[in-house]
């Protein structure tokens, strides 16, 4: 997806937002924007995500917390859920935007497993208002995902 680099299965790379193709820039912008809608009164940790479907459509989502914690919804699963409920099952990329001082926010383990159900995608991690982007594949984030069915989504 990048104009200047390609993401290896095993490792990621840092790049500048402006070097990524327009669709990837769009999903990062949409993830940044939807992050503002996060419902996170318990953690105050806003996360936005946007998924790029194989047909070029984009769906975004934010984290939605709940007082019982375990029934909250992560931004990544929210975005995928919106896409899937609209009949989309083939994805090429996802962006995750959140702010941590010293690192990028990657999908949690549950989200990694959930996303892997629909195939390997490029994952773009960014912070709001910053041009640095960490690019990695879902397979690199979850190298031995649990699978019982050989899906033909990728």
In angstroms, the first-to-last Cα distance of the chain is 15
Could you give the CA distance from residue 106 to residue 98 in angstroms, rounded to a whole number? 9
Q: Is 40 annotated as a binding residue?
A: no
The yes-or-no answer on residue 9 being catalytic is no
Q: Is 111 annotated as a binding residue?
A: yes
Could you give the CA distance from residue 145 to residue 112 in angstroms, rounded to a whole number? 8
Catalytic-role residue among 9, 11, 33, 76: 76
Q: SS3 sequence, 51-74?
A: EEECCCCEEEEECECCCCCCCCEC
Hey, which residues does 100 pair with through a beta bridge?
A: 103
Tally of CA atoms within 13 A in the half-sphere of 10 that contains its CB: 0
Q: Is 108 annotated as a binding residue?
A: yes
Read off the tokens for 154: 């990728």
**β-pair type (132-137, 122-126):** antiparallel
Binding-site residues for Zn(2+), please? 74, 108, 111
Catalytic residues: 76
């Amino acid at each position: 997806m990048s104009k200047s680099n390609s993401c290896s299965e095993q490792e990621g790379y840092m790049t500048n937002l402006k070097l990524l193709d327009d669709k990837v820039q769009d999903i990062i912008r949409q993830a940044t924007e939807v992050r503002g809608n996060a419902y996170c009164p318990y953690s105050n940790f806003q996360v936005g995500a946007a998924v790029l479907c194989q047909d070029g459509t984009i769906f975004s989502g934010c984290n939605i917390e709940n007082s019982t914690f375990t029934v909250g919804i992560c931004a990544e699963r929210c975005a995928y859920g919106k896409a899937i409920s609209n009949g989309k099952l083939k994805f090429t990329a996802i962006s995750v935007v959140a702010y941590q001082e010293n690192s990028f926010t990657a999908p949690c383990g549950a989200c990694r497993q959930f996303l892997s159900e629909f195939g390997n995608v490029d994952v773009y991690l960014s912070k709001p208002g910053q041009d640095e982007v960490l690019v990695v594949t879902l397979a690199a984030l979850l190298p031995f995902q649990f699978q019982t069915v050989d899906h033909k989504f990728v």
